[in-house]
Structure 1
Amino acid sequence: MSKSRFIELMAKSMGECASAEELAELDIFLEQFPNYKKTYEVTNALKGNGAQPAEAKPEEINGKLEEIWNRIKSSNENVEVDTKVRPMFRWQWVAAAILVFAAVGALFYKRMEQQDSLTAENVLYEIHVPYGKTQKLKLPDGTQVTLNAGSTFSYPEAFEKNTRDVSLTGEGFFEVTKNAKKPFLVHTARLVVKVLGTVFNVKAYNNDKTVETTLLKGKVQVELKNNPEKKIILLPNEKLIVVNNREPQSVKPKESKIEYQVTALPDVKPDEVKETAWVDNRILFTNELFEDVAAQIERKYNVQVVFEDQKLRTEQISGLLDKESLQEALGIIEMTTPFKFRVDGQTVYLSKKEK
């Protein structure tokens, strides 16, 4: 094997594009020529496959490259070379040498680039809020977020990209710091909310019937995940309600329809907006299904509600739960709705009241 053939195989091996036959040929050659094997091990260490630490300093890398160059330049070995094709082999040797340096340089640059990319943007924080609790936090850009019970929220240590991306499963109230050059994006399983600076609420629990975005100040654009070309613009005091497809669709894709609607919020005081009452640890409901209110009770009081009488699920109830205990809250609802309850540990059983 000639020097050029060795360099060619070495370059292919480093670039992970060598065939099984070429790798076998290289292994046999290295066993016969220990000096070549040492050179190969040096270059392989640069790639990070050898025993040498991958975090070599730049001056160490340059020294090894210089060593490889000197070895190649000073070597006169040319095993099994036909004199008739020696000039051709000389050009092949030069080309292969360039290939090796290109491969080593690319690998070194890629390694350094990967290290540089491990910035704060790639350090993600994930917050899990248990039932019975809410949590407030301040993001790196100054944005204030309040998370409802049963929510999971993730965000980077720093917003280094052209957008400020966060992810939410559950419910969050956002007061976004304005930055026209970096839109703020809230990603949920069903939709993406894009804002520049505004105050809004996103409710996106996986088990809820709907996903809701409620805008209080500013302006937001909502993009539906299964129809990204559809952009929905919300103005202050508007709410977007999107059907949450929790079950696989039985219809064909061409027959499926996106179900959503935009509604105006009632003209009430800010502290009477039911969509954001949870921020103050309250539950405000007006003519809502009992089963929907029960889901809010589960989150607020960290309990599981079991309907022993399924007809109770569709009862429409109204009321306000503030600082009441669980027993007191159920008692308030019981005053206007014919049902009875019992509490066993963390489980609440609801049944129809006998006349």
Structure 2
Amino acid sequence: MNLSKKTTEQISRYYDDLEKGEKTLGPEMSESLQEEVIYDRVLSGVARYEQRKGSWKRFIGVASVILLMASISLIFYRQRFKQSAEEIPAVMQTAVAARGRVLQLSLADGTEIWLNSGSKLTYPKTFTGQRRAVTLEGEAYFQVAHDASRPFLIRSERVVTRVLGTSFSIKAYKEDRSIRVAVLTGKVRVSMPTPKGMDSVALTAHELVTFNKAKQTIRVGDVANTAHLISWREGRLHYDEVPLRSVIADLQRKYDVEIEASPELQRRRITADFREESIKKVMIVLSEMTSSKVIKTEKGYLLH
């Protein structure tokens, strides 16, 4: 509706008087003017409503943008904080079991570890990031604390053993020809290099894998009595058809002596159970089993 100039002036005067408290709609106003004023009031009310509605919409829009930006910032902050935590160099510690000794230690996550003679474990003082990683040189028995969100990784030369929570043993001395991983309880995954690239095997309780370093071959087998594999924790050495070469390596670490034998003797298979006997008695038993003679040397013993 288009208002005439005269009507517009009358309405303006009406509002001026209204602001002074001197004017209301009444019979003295013409009927047409009353209609015009009412119509103007309706239009003004609608405009104010639309203005308020628009302001509310703008508020909702701005609030939504702020909320979205805050969410993105929070995600970014958490990701950066997480990355920063992983980038911070961990304080590394080293545990060494001297020859003739067995060392037991507990890690920050509750994992229990026994190190056999001549073994070394490198581990962080506190685990950070998405995994728990340690490095082993030698032989150890692990009882890993379960943590489904952070797997436990053991690096032994080129072999990596991955677990979530289980008990197992790893034998990975640098001077040995092979690396052995045996599972007592639970499940582990062992990754090893092969001529065709990295390969991995999953092991469950009473299974073991042997990795030949020189040939890069993998052999998986069963273990009749896993307790024999970790009997060294109690000072025992159990062998079941094991080459004399491997027995000699264990004896040298346990008794901190040097033992020599001819290549032919080193290939002989030994079945024995030594229970804290003296090295002298052990050497006599081995000489009898291999039909050889034992001679005491300046640094240890000689089998020939």
Q: TM-score, normalised by structure 2?
A: 0.68
Give the Cα separation in 2 of the matches to 1:221 and 1:302: 33
Match of 1:302 among 247, 256, 261: 256
1:235 correspondence with 2:204: yes
Distance 1:138 1:121, change over 3 A: farther
Give the Cα separation in 2 of the matches to 1:178 and 1:150: 28
Match of 1:287 among 222, 226, 241: 241
Shift of 1:342: 2.2
Q: How many positions carry a matched residue from both structures? A: 221
1:149 correspondence with 2:117: yes
Give the Cα separation in 1 of the matches to 2:234 and 2:89: 32
Structure 2: which 5+ residue stretches go unaligned? Answer: 1-80
Give the Cα separation in 2 of the matches to 1:181 and 1:310: 49
1:209 correspondence with 2:173: no
Q: Secondary structure at the match of 1:136?
A: strand
Q: Secondary structure at the match of 1:122?
A: coil
Q: TM-score, normalised by structure 1?
A: 0.58
Give the Cα separation in 1 of the matches to 2:298 and 2:107: 37
Shift of 1:335: 3.1
Give the Cα separation in 2 of the matches to 1:119 and 1:280: 40
Shift of 1:121: 5.7
1:349 correspondence with 2:291: no
Give the Cα separation in 2 of the matches to 1:313 and 1:187: 29
Give the Cα separation in 2 of the matches to 1:185 and 1:118: 16
Contact kept? 1:305, 1:347, Cα under 8 Å: yes
Match of 1:176 among 144, 153, 161: 144
Contact kept? 1:189, 1:225, Cα under 8 Å: no
Q: Which protein has the larger Cα radius of gyration, Structure 1 or Structure 2?
A: 2
Alignment of structure 1 residues 88-237 onto 2, 5 Å: 122-225=90-193, 229-237=198-206
1:35-62 per-position Cα deviation (integer Å, ceiling 9, x unaligned): xxxxxxxxxxxxxxxxxxxxxxxxxxxx
Give the Cα separation in 2 of the matches to 1:310 and 1:153: 32
Shift of 1:283: 1.1
Aligned-residue CA RMSD (Å): 2.2
The structure with more strand, counted as a fraction of residues = 2
Contact kept? 1:319, 1:333, Cα under 8 Å: no
Structure 1: which 5+ residue stretches go unaligned? Answer: 1-112, 246-256
1:247-300 per-position Cα deviation (integer Å, ceiling 9, x unaligned): xxxxxxxxxx7410110112x4x54x2x22212221111222111111111111
Q: Quote the sequence identity (%).
A: 27
Distance 1:350 1:229, change over 3 A: closer
Aligned to 1:277: 231
Give the Cα separation in 1 of the matches to 2:159 and 2:134: 12
Contact kept? 2:287, 2:303, Cα under 8 Å: no
Contact kept? 2:85, 2:128, Cα under 8 Å: no
Contact kept? 1:190, 1:211, Cα under 8 Å: no
Give the Cα separation in 1 of the matches to 2:181 and 2:102: 19
Shift of 1:151: 1.1
Aligned to 1:324: 277
Give the Cα separation in 1 of the matches to 2:190 and 2:284: 39
